[in-house]
Structure 1
Amino acid sequence: MVSRKDNSLQSISVQLDGKNYTYWSYFMKNFLREKSMWSYVTGVRIKPTDETTTNYANLVDSWETDNSKIITWINNSVTHFIGIQLDKYETAKEVWVHLARLYTQSNFAKQYQLETYICALQQNDMSVQEFYSAMSNLWDQLAFTESAELRIFEPYMARREEQRLVQFLMALRNDFEGLHGKILHRSPLPYVDSVVNELLAEEIRLKSKADKGSVTPTTPSIFVAQRESPPRNQNRPAPKVSPEECDFCKENGHWKAHCPRLLGKGKQQQQQ
């Protein structure tokens, strides 16, 4: 089995998921044309059957190699669920017809489906860049449902860009309400891609603000601790806890302020 990591077997970056067939088929068709292999899909280049042809074996081998390469390219550009349905087909044409029959919708039905997806899409937990990519993918698919005449009509294209801007801004999270209100009041209105940078900068600012607000002190300041518990003066003797010896009469059991001799002497002096 050929490894999917082989760069020669990687085709387009768009992956068919069943909802974006018009978008996917456009890129796949152009990719095969660039490789000069679109004729295998249309059936113009068929497998040689005349065994009398010169170099018949080499021609068959070359056709089978290219046919298998196209099938591998297609298989590598679809989801796994779609890919497992392709193993019953032998040619690139059969694979292409099967996918077209399965996923081709009328232009109006496809437009209705995409408009519904766009209206329902909200930023929610997506980053600005992720949300812009998701919305752009839907807009690009919707553009394929437009006629060529509309694409060259400048008033329509200007109106389409305004509509995209409104759709994008109104689906942003409430975090950006202040900014998108200012954008909608600009005249003329800017294109969506020109305001994405502003939104990215605002996203960074909001994240920085949220990070700062979440920081809380875990330990009290050393200066607060010093004010609450001032250090003891090391040169000052600590007070006595219990009376031991009176400094006046030198007897134990009381302080000098309560010395009976000193108190008696004071009374005598008052009586005199």
Structure 2
Amino acid sequence: MTRIDAKFAALKAEGKKGFVAYVMAGDPDYDRSLELVRGLPGAGVDVIELGLPFTDPMADGETIQLAGQRALEAGMTLNRTLQMVRDFRTGDDTTPIVLMGYYNPIYSHGVDKFLEEAREAGIDGLIIVDLPPEEDEELCIPAQKAGLNFIRLATPTTDDKRLPKVLQNTSGFVYYVSITGITGAAAAQATDVGPEVARIKAGTDLPVIVGFGIRTPETAESIASVADGCVVGSAIVGAMAEGKPVSEVLAFVKSLADGAHRA
């Protein structure tokens, strides 16, 4: 059982919904980014999604693209991202961390080497947005053999024929993308999301967590009420981009987490 599995089992036992926060590793610099990540559990975050900066983030909207650029310009690399996880783990050995990004940096690093180092650093799961189920032998299967969850995205365009393929080797949780398009675009609507979550849950026992289009505590509460939890990314990354003190960003994160936990 991974930390992710244990966290969602504990939330279920408490009758609570989960709150997942996405932040970009190294944005705007290593020290401020690490300060933010270290503060997330105290702000009510159940699972941390750590973005791996990449030069061509095709699924991301402008807010997260710019965050990745700032991180890369500040010297962030895959190795430094793994070091950030190690630094976090010196004070927190329980909060799950999911590394979210693209396959190219992992492929360049070497899959076997990456998986060994990721596991050693304290990463619990992967979301690699540009690897479809047809490529499971590339990373998904090796990751699961190494003890890491491989979390798959389902979208409004994932029809009933495609869904079983998407769910086939997924573990940890299913990430349902509430809107078509890129991150940070439109606002998620619980009336649209609810039936889709039910459709996914008919095909899996895994928790279904909803992301994209959640920017306020009220939306976090409404979306979490029809799922097992929600993810917020662009709104948090945007708050960091405005140059706000980390303490202020964490207060905003806490308001979102409180919203999800009220559901």
TM-score range, shorter chain: under 0.3
Structure 1 length as normaliser, TM-score?
A: 0.23
Bigger strand fraction? 2
For the pair shown, the structure with the greater C-alpha radius of gyration is 1
Say which structure, 1 or 2, has more relative contact order (CA 8 Å, 6+ apart).
2
Structure 2 length as normaliser, TM-score?
A: 0.23
